[in-house]
Each structure stands twice: as structure tokens, then as C-alpha cells.
Amino acid sequence: MSRLVFLGPPGVGKGTQAAGLAQDLGIPHISTGAILRDALERETPTGLEAKKFMDAGELVPDSVVLQLVRDRLAEEDARSGWLLDGYPRNLQQGEALQSLLQEIGDSLDHVIYFECAESELVRRLSGRRTCKTCGSTFHIEFAPVPEQGQCDAGGECEIYQRSDDVEEAILNRLEVYHRETGPLVDHYRSKDQLVVLDGAAPIDEVGVALRSALN
Ligand code: ADP
Ligand code: ADP
């Protein structure tokens, strides 16, 4: 059974790696960003509340995200493990996750941290394209959309550029990452809980390093 957290700056490739690994392990890939975007698309009260934070590249309030994670981990498919991508993202969320896991009798197996230089992150984020239907991500240079637009949800992918994948929001997200997530990375590092991977390597190489680190 695997209970994993993926940590790292926006654009480092967490979502890309999480999709393949979760499928290989037969566990759900739980991306708080994806859950929030879906809530926004459906105009639920949570989605509407989150919108202004997401558009600006700020963190959505901890209490809102905790409730989403609590609900998602309670679902049937999460009983055999899970991969949390993008949660926790600050020290408070790290503590909240710890308490939640204690409460439901779960524990964290690995925290995987992907490292990458900032100039590369900006390139990745500004060239990222996302499928509205299945959530898969592509890149105008590094991960081209398949010719036939094969969509994980069946049919054709509907490709768009996320409204926060534009320069102003990207720079703010990187700043928020250093301010909010940096201390959480330090926390896991000081407890010797961090598996550090080179996120700057090509997609396939990161995938190989990830699997060998987990074995
Ligand atoms: P995150 O979930 O960490 O924000 P993504 O997985 O969405 O990051 O990746 C950001 C962008 O970079 C996407 O366009 C993706 O196709 C591309 N990408 C991901 N990993 C790599 C890599 N190792 N090398 C080059 N581009 C990558
Ligand atoms: P990225 O590709 O930057 O890692 P995500 O898809 O993980 O982006 O997140 C997109 C946005 O959703 C964030 O900028 C933030 O507004 C919100 N969000 C996602 N996860 C969290 C979280 N754990 N706490 C607060 N806000 C979050």
C-alpha cells in the first residue's frame, strides 16, 4: 500500500509524474488544484470562493482545502492508498494532514520532493497546455499533444491554457511557493522524511528515478 505526497514548485512536473505512477500503483491521484478547478468549472460555492485566490496565484484558505482532502480520502478508492499532489502546501496544512491521518488511522509512507531551477519552471508553466476534460497536461515544446488528441476520458482532448499559467500569476505562484511551501520542505527534510529527485531531468528519466526511489 502506498500513501504518497508530491512536493515541489509549480511546473516541476508533479502532475505529469503523478498521473503515471498512480496508474501503475492502482491508487487515486489526488490533485487539490484539479479538484478546485473542477469545482470552479461547476460553479459550486467552494469553486466560486476559490476563484479569486487561484486567478491571482495565491493559496486558497487552508480550511477550504482541508475539507476537500478530508472528503476525498474518505472515498472508497482511497482505502488502498493515495497520491496527494499539491497538498500539503504550507506548515499548517502539513499539521492538518498529520492530524487527519491520525484520526482516520492512516500514515504517510513517502514525501517526494522534486527540485528544479526557477528559469526552467517559468518555461514549463508558460508553455503548459491542459485538457479540460481529462486534466492531462502537455507542453508546447516538451510534451506535445498527441496527433489524434486521445483523451483519458475518451474522445478528443479539449486543450486550453490555464488562466494562472500567464506571466504575472506564474511569478506570484513561485513567490508564494518559496514563502509558504519552503518551510514545509525544510520541516520534512529535518525529519528525514524527504526523498529528493532531480525534477529538471527529462520526463522519462524523472519517472525512472521516481520508481527506483520507491523500490
Ligand atoms: P506541476 O504539476 O508540478 O505544476 P506539470 O506536471 O503540470 O507540473 O508540468 C508542468 C509543465 O511542464 C507541463 O507542460 C508538462 O508537460 C511539462 N513537464 C513536466 N515534466 C517535465 C520534464 N521533466 N521536462 C520537461 N517538461 C516537463
Ligand atoms: P501548480 O501547477 O501551480 O502546482 P495546482 O494545480 O497545484 O498548480 O494549483 C493551482 C491553484 O490551486 C494554486 O495556485 C492555488 O490557488 C490552489 N491550490 C491548489 N492546492 C492548494 C493547496 N493545497 N492549498 C491552497 N491552495 C491550493
Is residue 8 in a domain?
yes
Pairwise pLDDT comparison (148 vs 167), residue with the higher score:
167
C-alpha cell at 198: 532531480
Q: Are 60 and 4 in contact (CB under 8 A)?
A: no
- Dist CA 125 CA 166 (whole Å): 8
pLDDT band at 155 (very low <50, low <70, confident <90, very high): confident
128 DSSP β-pair partners: 139
Query: Where do we find the cell 491554457?
Result: 161
Q: In the predicted model, what is the mean pLDDT of residues 138-146? A: 88
Task: Determine the structural domain holding residue 137 and report its residue range.
Answer: 2-28+75-214
pLDDT band at 149 (very low <50, low <70, confident <90, very high): low
Assign residue 18 the CATH number of its domain: 3.40.50.300
Query: Where do we find the cell 497536461?
Result: 137
Residue 48 has a pLDDT of 96
pLDDT band at 104 (very low <50, low <70, confident <90, very high): very high
Query: Checking DSSP bridges between strand 81-85 and strand 29-31, what pairing results, if any?
Result: parallel
- Dist CA 130 CA 41 (whole Å): 14
Q: Is 53 in the pocket of ligand 1 (CB under 6 A)?
A: no
Ligand 2 center to 178 CA (angstroms):
14
- pTM (2 d.p.): 0.96
Report the domain count for the chain. 1
pLDDT over 80 (residue 153)? no
